[in-house]
Amino acid sequence: MMKKINFIFGIHNHQPVGNFKEVLDHGYECAYKPFVQLMWRHPKIKWSLHCSGILWDYFREHNPEYIDIVKKMKDRGQVELIAGGYYEPIMPSLQDRDKIGQIKKMTEYLKNEFDSKPQGMWLAERVWEPHLPKPFSLAGIKYTIVDDYHLLSSGLNAEERTGYYITEEQGYTLKLFSINQQLRYYIPFKTVSETIEFFRQSATENEGTALVMIDDGEKFGMWPKTYKHVYEDLWLENFLKAVEENSDWINTLTFSEYLEKYPSKGRAYIPTASYFEMTEWAYPQKMQEELEDTIKETDHMNNSERIKKFIRGGMWRNFFTKYPESNNMHKKMLYVSEKINAYRSEISSSKETRDPNITAQLAKALDLLYEGQCNCAYWHGVFGGLYLPHLRKAIYEKLIASENIIDELNKKEKKAKKALKTDFDKDGNNEVLVETESQNLYFMPQCGGTIFEWDIKKANTNILNTLSRKKEAYHRKLVEFIARGPLNPGAVKTIHDLVEVKEENLDHYLNYDWYRKVSLIDHFIHPDTSYENFSKCKYGEQGDFVFGIYDFQEHNNSFKLARNGVVWAGDRQYKIRIEKEVKLSVAPEAEITYTVINNDTDTVSLNFVPELNFSFLGSRTEDTMNKTVKEWVRVDEPQKLKVEVKFENDTQLWVFPVETVSLSEAGFERTYQGTTVAPLWKLELKPGQKQKLHITIQIGVIE
């Protein structure tokens, strides 16, 4: 009997919420359009297609011919359309109601646009947790697609991972296909002959044997150097021809066709997992380096593959501990989701549910929430993700806009609200959320008495959407690359192996913050600290206030934070008290009064620096300053904001851009993340003496 193989082929296309239109245009011209045109010319090749809702919306508005050709292929039975969360969220990170809502939005779109009732869904980044079968089943989904690594983690060997399995949660079942990892690396990076040979080696006399390869559509033309390789050098054309020429033993079919024809291979229960690279990235920097080194060490062992299958990385949710900024976005998303759900519950039995205006506004708020759940800005691996300010900006923009609608529907009072004490970031300590008509300020008394989020509601902008400079595991690759230069620069590599540098001397920007870049961070710095050292976070901190616990009190529109701490000066500690009062007005503005008190028995000399940080889209000359001034003004046209920081007297002011070095699909790059504004006050305080210092921050919205 001839050995045969079933080949389930597909692509997943996605672009983040908030990405630049020129990026989508580029993706369309070099990846999405040429791929679908080539598939159209090979009608015998069955395949499956998933596009996120962001791209379906883009195609409908700017390139409707893409939708037209997909309709034709669907009608002739060549392509199966796969659902998913409409805005490509990481499913385990959502409330179950939002999981179901995202999926139903996509299935309704595919039904209305293509007259298609999808059975399966794409699992964003293949991030799996065992509770998912229940909400997926409740949303009408029959199957999803995971990675080889998922089934390997359940103890299934390569021969057993050539079909589909059934899993369940509380009796709700879900069918699971797994993507062949080796084939994912072969297509389109190995030669066509090598790829066909891999099929030949995988073929069996069991007619149900199947290989699945569905991966990012961007690797077919959008990843560096792949357009020439895939289209100009005819890799994809030659591959499709080779599959057709070997159709007597390579059978292409869709997921649903396979389900109709073949039974499952049994039950399987999968632990928390994603594709293996994701589990590497989710680890903290040091653990990630150790894991990479461990894998390299096993490569030189005779039984390396047997050992590797027992190596595990971290889980996706670790990004919320690795990056506090990611956690902040996630908890903001959950907070807004709860606001929407509370309002829906409140009006569910009232006549307001029949008000078409309320229904429309609620639907808009819900859709904005869903957009704010797009996964890309919440994590970072090879691609820019969290490190791209415009993606984080888009998440906050959607979430704040959604929150504004619900607050308006709730008919909130148009004045400062009483501070809400709640464990916003889910760390066991209460934060303080202050919401007014024009702005939201979130305080963290348990960590420096800082402001960690400042929403300008009219602009739908969190002006504290900054990112601290962190040491990443791939930074050592940058140092090694600069030291030795590129190896084999002409080769076409996978995105995981590619090393490029977008500018010289990037290693000079490898500076790391030991605290989060928020605002009202109270520093007492060593007297020898220079502007340059402080900007690089290479200075001596002499106080215990940066992470210290502050008392919090509320008085009408005034909020007071205070701490009794210590400052090292000379060869001893001094007892110092800081009081900071934040007064809010109707406009987006904060008047901040610091009182620094010497509670010690001796006179002390202090260098006090209350650090502020602001998030702008792109750096300007105003982001660099080291001089004595009474005010600092910064206009940000992209966000339509004007920030003014004013002092009562001439003040030494340090201003510098916060720039990270991160890895993206284009290589290592320097990215502007925000601006630090740090007044430096040199104080000489006698025992019991106090010094008041004033800062006014005004944020105007440019019409």
pLDDT, one tens digit per residue, over 166-223 is: 999 999 999 999 999 999 999 999 999 999 999 999 999 999 999 999 999 999 999 9
- Give the per-residue pLDDT at 652: 98
pLDDT at 4 over 80: yes
- Which range, of 276-280, 490-494, 545-549, averages the lowest pLDDT? 490-494
Q: How much of the chain exceeds pLDDT 90, in percent?
A: 86
Confidence of residue 78 (pLDDT cuts 50, 70, 90): very high
**Residue among 324, 309, 219 at smallest CA distance from 273:** 309
Q: Which long-range contacts (CB under 8 A, 24 or more apart) does 223-228 make?
A: 223/495, 223/498, 223/665, 224/495, 224/498, 224/500, 224/665, 224/666, 224/667, 225/492, 225/493, 226/188, 226/492, 227/30, 227/31
As annotated, the active-site residues are 125, 216
The boundaries of every CATH 2.70.98.10 domain in the chain are: 475-701
Average pLDDT over residues 439-449: 97
Residues 6+ apart with CB under 8 A from 336: 369, 372, 399, 402, 403, 406
Local confidence band at 596 (pLDDT 50, 70, 90 cut-offs): very high
Q: What is the pLDDT of residues 561-588, one digit of tens each?
A: 999 999 999 889 999 999 999 999 888 9
Q: How far is CA 612 from the centre of its chain?
A: 24
Tell me the mean pLDDT in the region 279-295.
95
Q: How far apart are CA 275 and CA 468, in angstroms?
A: 27
- Predicted confidence at residue 499, as pLDDT, reads 65
Which pLDDT score is estimated for 665?
A: 72
CATH topology of domain 5-274: 7-stranded beta/alpha barrel (3.20.110)
CB-CB neighbours of 231 under 10 Å: 19
- Which amino acid belongs to residue 325? E
Q: What is the pLDDT of residues 399-432, one digit of tens each?
A: 999 999 999 998 754 444 678 999 999 999 999 9
Is residue 385 predicted with pLDDT exceeding 60? yes
Beta strands 120-122 and 83-84 are parallel
Nearest to residue 696, comparing CAs of 650, 635, 623, 643? 643
Q: Which amino acid is at 453?
A: E
- Kindly tell me the sign of the dihedral angle through the C-alpha atoms of 29, 35, 40, 42: positive
- pTM, to two decimals: 0.95
> Which residues of the chain form CATH 3.20.110.20?
5-274
Q: Does residue 92 come out as left (phi exceeding 0), alpha (psi in the -120 to 50 range) or beta?
A: alpha
Task: Read off the amino acid at residue 571.
Answer: D
Q: The domain 475-701: what is its CATH number?
A: 2.70.98.10
Beta strands in 449-571 (DSSP E): 450-456, 461-462, 521-524, 551-555, 558-569
Q: Mean pLDDT in the chain? A: 94
Contact assessment for residue 656 and residue 676, using Cβ atoms and an 8 Å cutoff: yes
Among candidate residues 519, 518, 581, the one with its CA nearest the CA of residue 555: 581
Distance of alpha carbon 191 from alpha carbon 480, whole angstroms: 29
pLDDT of residue 666: 72
**pLDDT tens-digit series, residues 515-531:** 999 999 999 999 999 99
- State whether the Cα torsion 495-498-501-506 is positive or negative: positive
Confidence of residue 301 (pLDDT cuts 50, 70, 90): confident
Radius of gyration of the chain (CA): 28
pLDDT surpasses 90 at 66: yes
Confidence tier at 396 by pLDDT (50, 70, 90): very high
CA 469 – CA 512 distance, rounded (Å): 5
Angle at 679 between CA 634 and CA 553, to 5 degrees: 100
Q: Residue 424 carries which side chain, given as an amino acid letter?
A: F
Distances in whole angstroms, Cα of residue 418 to Cα of each of 338, 439, 456, 519, 557: 19, 13, 18, 21, 8
- Which residues pair with residue 8 across a beta bridge? 212
Name the DSSP class of 128: B
